[in-house]
């Protein structure tokens, strides 16, 4: 049995977006400050980099559950980027020799030195029956190399050369499987990816480590004929086993279209099950969490000099600039908005295609000075002075708490908040009378900016643990 090619193609589109997430950011030229520190997601550094920064790992682990027989076959595809340094060399007048120049214009095209990235893939396949007897390991080695590209001037002579160099990479993929306890006998699958690259010189900085790193590393795991279980919404019988899975540096989600059951994508970016690229997206903008229309319009505001600099940075940036400059009007219309999940109202006849509807003019009424949803509209509440009692402690604005997101919350990013300290900004009541605490993490470098914009995290009282209470006069108790 083979994996469905359409399903795999669907999953690869999302995986490609992950592969190049943050590769380049608006305004897409190398002198932009945000492009000075690159590659933030799924970076597996060489082991020697731990002496520089122990927070950047050299391995990742994926654990997930599926239903399949012992005769099924597990196929793992590990994908990542490998850094390659592109150096621009120009011809020295008189001598004809080449030297590094950093920037060079040849036949009206500008070239600059830059850290590019090349796509790499490694595979591992094993029968479930074999994995139940012993784990399987696949080592891989990518040798160091160099590639030169001559730049010919308008006079037909050699004007310069692009030299791309990359360091050796060594790694290993480990695959392990076991049957879990219980009547359903689901298979627990573990995929580990390790970077074992060694550097000939001591690593002293992040750019040093990136030359030997697996960048944006992620895995596609397929079991033809099998059925993967959702890690975010598992069936009740598997909930305990799913909760026991240990995922380090990755998050596995069901991949492919909604009817696909035999594909799992383990991503360094937290996704939902069956993620997909929006149909309105006309091409890669290297920031899949942004709105295409905003980035497109912003890019079109760049000056010709800025666009020229972006094109010189990278071939992918050049393609992006060309695509947006020549984008037809209908493509802009597609990006402007979309309505999904639209349902007709029962009993309401649909208008004929050419029928003009005479909508009644809206009735203008006097509006209250303070809208109903504004805390100022209800004098019985005071977000800045109200308090709630948690574990015998009064919690109000200014109190410090430990965030303990509850199990009922569906946001997978809560794992990054659990156990962290926060300061309470306000005690709020919703229209149903429920109490919510607006909090800000104390170690958030953007706390002041978020506070000025009124952007907070929100928890119910049983999702925080009192840490301390800062004195505050004239507080009023809220019933939790």
Q: Which of 329, 350, 365 is the last residue of a domain?
A: 329
* Residue 183 is assigned to a structural domain of this protein: yes
Q: Which residue from 381, 371, 385, 463 is spatially nearest to 422, judged by alpha carbons? A: 463
* Residue 173 is assigned to a structural domain of this protein: yes
Q: What is the pLDDT of residue 474?
A: 46
* Residue 367 is assigned to a structural domain of this protein: no
Please state whether the predicted TM-score (pTM) of the whole model is above 0.95. no
Q: What is the pLDDT of residue 293?
A: 81
Q: Which of 329, 351, 367 is the last residue of a domain?
A: 329
**Cis preceding-peptide flag for 412 (omega within 30 of 0):** no
Q: Which residue from 424, 366, 377 is spatially nearest to 399, judged by alpha carbons? A: 424
Spatial contact of 26 and 310, defined as CB atoms under 8 Å apart = no
CA distance 297 to 299: 5
Average pLDDT, the chain: 86
Residues 422, 275 share a domain: no
Residues 324, 401 share a domain: no
CA distance 14 to 356: 41
Give 64-108 pLDDT, tens digit per residue.
999 999 999 999 999 999 999 999 999 988 888 899 999 999 988
Radius of gyration (C-alpha) of the chain in whole angstroms? 28
Residue 413 gets the label, from left (phi > 0), alpha (psi -120 to 50) or beta, of alpha
Residues 251, 321 share a domain: yes
Q: What is the pLDDT of residue 452?
A: 85
CA distance 273 to 366: 46
Q: Which residue from 84, 11, 40 is spatially nearest to 289, judged by alpha carbons? A: 40
Q: Could you tell me the two tokens for 169?
A: 């990479």
Q: What is the pLDDT of residue 434?
A: 86
Q: What is the DSSP string of 334-384?
A: HHH----S--PPTT-PPPPTTPPP-PPPPPP-PPPSS-TTSGGG-TT--TT
Task: Give the CA angle between residues 164, 166, 172 to the nearest 5°.
Answer: 150
Q: What is the pLDDT of residue 472?
A: 47
Classify residue 342 as exposed, middle or buried by CB count within 10 Å of its CB (0-12, 13-18, 19+): exposed
Residues of the chain with pLDDT under 50: 469-474
Residues 399, 278 share a domain: no
Residues 414, 309 share a domain: no
Q: Could you tell me the two tokens for 74?
A: 């597990």
Q: Could you tell me the two tokens for 28?
A: 């897409």
Give 269-283 pLDDT, tens digit per residue.
989 999 988 877 878
Number of domains in the chain: 2
> What range does the domain containing 67 cover?
5-329
Q: What is the pLDDT of residue 34?
A: 83
* Residue 347 is assigned to a structural domain of this protein: no
Name the pairing type of β-strands 393-396 and 457-459.
Answer: unpaired
Residues 276, 183 share a domain: yes
Q: For position 441, which CATH number holds?
A: 2.30.30
Residues 386, 320 share a domain: no
CA distance 37 to 410: 32
Q: What is the pLDDT of residue 471?
A: 47
Spatial contact of 84 and 272, defined as CB atoms under 8 Å apart = no
Spatial contact of 429 and 478, defined as CB atoms under 8 Å apart = yes
The SS3 call for residue 476 is strand
Residues 191, 117 share a domain: yes
Residues 6+ apart with CB under 8 A from 311: 110, 317, 318, 321, 322
Q: What is the pLDDT of residue 338?
A: 64
Residues 64, 199 share a domain: yes
Residues 297, 184 share a domain: yes
* Residue 92 is assigned to a structural domain of this protein: yes
Residues 384, 314 share a domain: no
* Residue 342 is assigned to a structural domain of this protein: no
Query: What proportion of the chain, given as a percentage, has pLDDT over 70?
Result: 86
* Residue 155 is assigned to a structural domain of this protein: yes
Residues 306, 386 share a domain: no
Q: What is the pLDDT of residue 473?
A: 41
CA distance 111 to 310: 10
* Residue 348 is assigned to a structural domain of this protein: no
Q: What is the pLDDT of residue 246?
A: 95
Where would I find the H helices in 236-277? 239-243
């Amino acid at each position: 049995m083979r994996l469905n090619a359409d399903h795999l193609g669907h999953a690869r589109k999302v995986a490609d977006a992950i592969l190049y997430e943050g590769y380049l950011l608006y305004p897409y030229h190398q002198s932009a400050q945000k492009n000075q520190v690159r590659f933030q997601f799924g970076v597996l550094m060489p082991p020697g980099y731990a002496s520089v920064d122990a927070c950047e790992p050299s391995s990742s682990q994926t654990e997930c559950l599926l239903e399949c027989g012992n005769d099924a076959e597990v196929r793992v595809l590990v994908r990542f980027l490998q850094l390659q340094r592109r150096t621009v060399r120009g011809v020295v007048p008189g001598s004809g020799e080449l030297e590094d120049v950093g920037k060079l214009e040849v036949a009206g095209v500008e070239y600059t030195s830059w850290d590019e990235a090349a796509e790499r893939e490694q595979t591992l396949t094993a029968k479930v029956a074999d994995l139940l007897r012993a784990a399987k390991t696949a080592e891989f080695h990518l040798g160091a190399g160099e590639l030169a590209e001559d730049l010919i001037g308008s006079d037909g002579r050699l004007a310069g050369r692009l030299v791309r160099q990359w360091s050796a990479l060594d790694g290993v993929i480990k695959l392990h499987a076991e049957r879990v306890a219980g009547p359903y006998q689901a298979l627990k699958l573990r995929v580990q990816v390790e970077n074992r690259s060694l550097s000939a010189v001591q690593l002293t900085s992040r750019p040093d480590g990136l030359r030997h790193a697996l960048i944006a590393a992620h895995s596609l795991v397929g079991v033809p004929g099998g059925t993967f279980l959702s890690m975010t919404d598992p069936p009740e019988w598997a909930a305990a086993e799913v909760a026991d899975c240990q995922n380090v540096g990755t998050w596995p989600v069901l991949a492919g279209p909604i009817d696909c059951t035999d594909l799992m994508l383990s991503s360094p970016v937290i996704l939902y099950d069956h993620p997909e690229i929006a149909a309105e997206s006309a091409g890669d903008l290297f920031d899949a969490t942004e709105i295409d229309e905003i980035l497109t319009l912003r890019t079109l505001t760049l000056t010709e000099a800025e666009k020229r600099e972006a094109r010189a940075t990278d071939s992918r940036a050049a393609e992006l600039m060309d695509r947006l400059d020549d984008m037809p009007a209908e493509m802009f219309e597609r990006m402007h908005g979309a309505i999904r999940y639209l349902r007709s109202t029962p009993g309401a006849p649909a208008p004929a295609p050419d029928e003009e509807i005479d909508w009644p003019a809206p009735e203008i009424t006097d509006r209250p000075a303070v809208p109903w949803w504004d805390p100022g509209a209800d004098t019985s509440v005071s977000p800045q002075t109200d308090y709630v009692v948690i574990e015998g402690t009064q919690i109000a604005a200014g109190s410090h708490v430990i965030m303990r997101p509850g199990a009922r919350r569906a946001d997978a990013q809560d794992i990054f908040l659990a156990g962290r300290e926060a300061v309470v900004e306000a005690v709020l009541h919703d229209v149903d009378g429920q109490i919510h605490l607006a909090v800000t993490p104390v170690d958030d470098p953007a706390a002041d900016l978020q506070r000025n914009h009124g952007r907070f995290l929100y928890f119910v009282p049983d999702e925080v643990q009192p840490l301390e209470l800062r004195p505050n006069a004239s507080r009023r108790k809220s019933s939790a």
